[in-house]
Amino acid sequence: MGTPHADPAELDLSTFTTEAVDPRYANLDQMSVLEVATAMNEAEMEVPRAVNRALPEISAAITAIVGQLGNGGRMFYVGAGTPGRLGILDASECPPTFSTDPEMVQGIIAGGPSAIINAVEGAEDDYDAGRGLIEKYSITAGDVVVGVTASGRTPFVIGAVDAARELGAVTVGVSSNANAELSVAAQFPIEVVVGPEIVSGSTRLKAGSAQKQVLNMLSTVTMVQLGKTYGNLMVDVSTTNAKLRVRARNLVQRVTGASEEVASEALARGEGHVKIASVMILRSVDAQEAKALLAEAHGNLRAVLEA
């Protein structure tokens, strides 16, 4: 388990690779625009390699997440600064992409919603505020708490992970330093070590890119395992605008082989849901029976169509 944070004045940042200075970029401010952009691009190439090295740990965490969410649990991303914003971004994209309940995946940032735009000084150092999230969000043993912090020692994040683990919830820690304090606190530690940033200490760069990739995996692979796709088709997409309505019709046509007219009619009767429309066409049933078949299969389209 983690411990409440030490006095910030006692922190030794020299032990964090995310705080190291990369000598290759010592003359960054003297480079041309193209040279800086090229250097950034080259630096970012380390990110997918670092994520690749962490795939076994990422996969283990996803397996546990699938078990929790498949049984009605929720997943909470907890972070401060850039990691907090990335968690909110990933969570906010789950409902339109996979038609999930907004409660299923949630993002929490130290300092509250105002910290999404403006930094809230000192919020990340509040260990007790992190612990308080567990009661505030009524987190239980059936939920998942994913702590995200580049340094791996952010007290707010560790407080939330500590309290969640004490309750028996699944806890995951995503950090960018080896042997992170968060890795001790979390049940499933994921360390994606990308090395020093091109702008020393600016962890919104490589570390942020790595966190975005990991969170993409945590949510997307989980949703695939929960039957939110059919093959690689986004069949649980929410048809909330014209583009998505056309996409839905194209998806129904691809799944069923039906004409544009038949697909459009089925979608209209199926309340715009790709899965319902596809089952209606391929199983020759009405919308109500299609819904019942999908409910029985926990929303898994393939299970219904191959039954």
Query: What's the CA gap between 6 and 19, in Å, rounded?
Result: 18
Q: Candidates 2.40.160.10, 1.10.8.1080, 1.10.3720.10, 3.30.1380.10; correct CATH number of 242-305?
A: 1.10.8.1080
DSSP label of 7: P
Q: Please report the pLDDT score of residue 305 as a whole number.
A: 95
Contact 103, 74 (CB under 8 A): yes
CA distances from 265 to 14, 57, 249, 253, 261 (A): 63, 45, 9, 11, 6
Residue 208 has pLDDT above 50, yes or no: yes
Query: Is 166 noted as a catalytic residue in this protein?
Result: no
pLDDT of residue 4 exceeding 70: no
In this prediction the pTM is 0.90
Taking CA atoms, 280 is separated from 75, 271, 297, in Å, by 32, 12, 15
167: tokens are 């309750």
Mean pLDDT of 194-211: 94
Q: Residue range 141-148: average pLDDT?
A: 98
Say whether 271 is catalytic: no
Q: Is the pLDDT of residue 173 over 90?
A: yes
Catalytic residue among 44, 46, 93, 289: 93
pLDDT at residue 133 greater than cutoff 50: yes
Measured CA to CA, the distance from residue 162 to residue 182 in angstroms comes to 9
Question: What rounded mean pLDDT belongs to the chain?
Answer: 93
Q: What is the pLDDT of residues 22-46, one digit of tens each?
A: 999 999 999 999 999 999 999 999 9
Mean pLDDT to the nearest integer, 124-146? 96
Residue with the bigger pLDDT between 2 and 301: it is: 301
Distance CA 6, CA 229 (A): 45
Task: Give the pLDDT confidence score for residue 2 in this predicted structure.
Answer: 45
The single-letter DSSP state of residue 4 is P
Q: How many CB atoms lie within 10 A of CB 109?
A: 25
d(CA 235, CA 247): 10
**Confidence band, pLDDT 50/70/90 cuts, at residue 10:** low
**Which one, of 268, 267, 289, lies nearest residue 278 by Cα?**
267
In this predicted model, what pLDDT tens digit does every residue of 58-78 receive, in sequence order?
999 999 999 999 999 999 999
Residue 101 pLDDT: 94
Residues 6+ apart with CB under 8 A from 231: none
Is the pLDDT higher at 4 or at 144?
144
Confidence of residue 11 (pLDDT cuts 50, 70, 90): low
What is d(CA 33, CA 108) in angstroms, rounded to the nearest whole number?
36
Q: Which fold has domain 8-225?
A: Rossmann fold (3.40.50)
Domain boundaries, the chain: 8-225, 242-305
**Contacts by 167-170, CB closer than 8 A, 24 or more apart:** 167/134, 167/139, 167/140, 167/141, 168/141, 169/68, 169/139, 169/140, 169/141, 169/142, 169/143, 169/144, 169/145, 170/64, 170/65, 170/67, 170/68, 170/143, 170/144, 170/145
What per-residue confidence (pLDDT) applies to 95?
93
Distance CA 79, CA 211 (A): 11
Assess whether pLDDT exceeds 70 at residue 1.
Answer: no
| Percent of the chain residues past pLDDT 70, beyond the cut | 95
Taking only the tens place, the pLDDT of each residue in 239-291 is: 889 999 999 999 999 999 999 999 999 999 999 999 999 999 999 999 999 99
Considering the candidates 19, 57, 124, 197, report the single residue annotated as catalytic.
124
Show the 3-state SS of 98-153. Answer: HCCCCCCEEEEECCCHHHHCCCCCCHHHCHHHHHHHHHHCCCCCCCEEEEECCCCC
